[in-house]
Amino acid sequence: MSLTLALGGLVGGLAGLQLYQAGRQRADRSLFYLGRSLAEERALSRAAGVDLARFAVLAQRVVWGVLQPDLIRVDVAAASQRLCTELPDFFGSHLVAAFAERAHGRPDAADQALGRARALLAARPAEDPFAYVMPTPAEWASEPPSPHLEEIVPDQIWRVSAYYTHGLCPFHEFAYATLIRRPSGQLILINPVDMPPELHARVAQLGPVSHLVIPLKFHNLFIAGAQRAFPAAQTIGVAGHRKNPPSAHLHLDAVLDDRAPLFPGELEQLQLGGHQFEETVFFHPATSTLILHDLLFGSQPGVPGYSFWWRLYCFVFGVHDGFAIPSYQPMLWTNVLALRHSVARMLAWRPERALVAHAPAAALATGAHQRLERACAWITQLGPADYAVLVGAYFRQQPGFLRDLLRYLVRQGL
């Protein structure tokens, strides 16, 4: 008995020491701008004239309360009021409030809040680093850009853009599908999106679509439409599609499995382990192109093509002027050692170009490897104790998200 207690105490002590050391190591890292230092976060706060960490805590609940009302239990009106009361002189507070008012069908109140945000920006003595988040008149009027087909690599890779709304939000989210021509001339359509008839016709002119590949669990809105548009194509999803309620009823011909690659010698694939997304990323060796989806988000003031909805979402969740892991995502990781191994393998491909589902092609058209290293190499150094400290610190700031996560896991039957 005494030996057992002694061993238990030793193990507990070692675990406590690891957590202590991990806490000290993470003390200078930003919690809300993952991959950046606390000094960088503070510099951004000074430039914006606000405590961005406090803004994130308050604004995240508002935005997710609007976008995930079935999962995130938030009194959005009260949360918006608290945000604007605590941080009344920051344009972002009123912009988030305007977003929430529009989503709840109160256009006059939304316009008033947007006007306040514009006035605060105009009164700034220096340009605000986040001014690019503001909507254009067309975006505020919920006018979507026209979807288009873009050739990325001549005769080999194309992208199709789509703009869509869902839930309460009247503003347009955006995403891209990727088309890859195989040596046989057939086309692989990765991450299908909604296409008008004229774009279907243009895709058909490129060649027959043989496979529809949906590479992560939470992308399911356009599977059925793509199956109707390309009835001869096989549909390949991930195992999670068969359990996730919005997609469980859909037909899949197969699921992605690294042990049996879909296109050996043509397209390399890698499932990102240890993540609720169950995302599979792809690498096209012939063009040195990486294709990934929701692991990384991007938002860049100098690159056109990001919608207002997306810029605001990234603003609130700590993605600014580049690519990063949004601050909520670590709570969806299930095995940090598996994830860091997968990320290291992905980076080992050293792609020249990367195509991200929610970013224009110009964002990572060249030098992608170096940019990806800056965005997510920190994950490859993360151990279980570091992860526990990171997520524990986030939940201390956002205890409501812990309740939301537990509710989600129960719904998923996990």
Write a three-state SS string for 263-324: ECCCEEEEECCCECCCCEEEEEHHHCEEEECCCCEEECCCCCCCCHHHHHHHHHCCCCCEEE
Instruction: Give kind and range of the element (H or E) at residue 354.
Output: strand 353-356
Distance CA(103)–CA(101), nearest Å, equals 5
CB atoms within 10 A of CB 169: 19
- The pTM is what? 0.90
Task: Give the residue numbers spanning the domain of 185.
Answer: 149-380
Together in a domain, 159 and 98: no
Regarding whether 182 and 316 lie in a shared domain, the answer is yes
> What confidence tens digit (pLDDT) does each residue in 10-63 have?
444 434 544 445 555 557 999 999 999 999 999 999 999 999 999 999 999 999
Q: Is the pLDDT of residue 209 over 50?
A: yes
Q: What is the pLDDT of residue 71?
A: 75
Tens digit of each residue's pLDDT (9 = 90 or more) over 354-403 = 999 999 999 999 999 999 999 999 999 999 999 999 999 999 999 888 88
Same structural domain for residues 260 and 363? yes
Task: Say what the pLDDT of residue 12 is.
Answer: 46
**Amino acid letter, 3:** L
* Mean of pLDDT over the chain: 91
Q: What pLDDT score was predicted for residue 68?
A: 82
Q: Averaged over 193-216, what is the pLDDT?
A: 95
CATH code of the domain containing 224: 3.60.15.10
Is residue 350 pLDDT above 90, yes or no?
A: yes
Q: How confident is the model at residue 405 (pLDDT cuts 50, 70, 90)?
A: confident
Residue 412 confidence (pLDDT)? 62
Query: What is the mean predicted confidence (pLDDT) over 205-221?
Result: 95
Q: What percent of the chain has pLDDT over 90?
A: 81
Helix (H) or strand (E) holding 400: helix 399-412
Q: Is the pLDDT of residue 230 over 50?
A: yes
- The backbone torsions φ and ψ at residue 66, rounded to the nearest 5 degrees and listed phi first, read -75, -45
pLDDT at 2: 53
Q: Are residues 219 and 304 in the same domain?
A: yes
Please, is 11 exposed, middle or buried when counting C-beta atoms within 10 Å of its C-beta (0-12, 13-18, 19+)? exposed
Q: How high is the pLDDT of residue 20?
A: 43
* Tokens 């992905």 -> residue: 346
Are residues 311 and 186 located together in one domain of the fold?
yes
Check residue 25 and give its pLDDT.
Answer: 58
* 113, 245: one domain: no
Supply the DSSP string of 215-250, one letter for each residue: -STT--TTHHHHHHHSTTSEEEE-GGGGTSTTTTTS
The domain tally of the chain equals 2
Among 134, 169, 196, the domain-final residue is: 134
Q: Is the pLDDT of residue 252 over 80?
A: yes
The rounded distance, in Å, linking the Cα atoms of 215 and 178 is 11
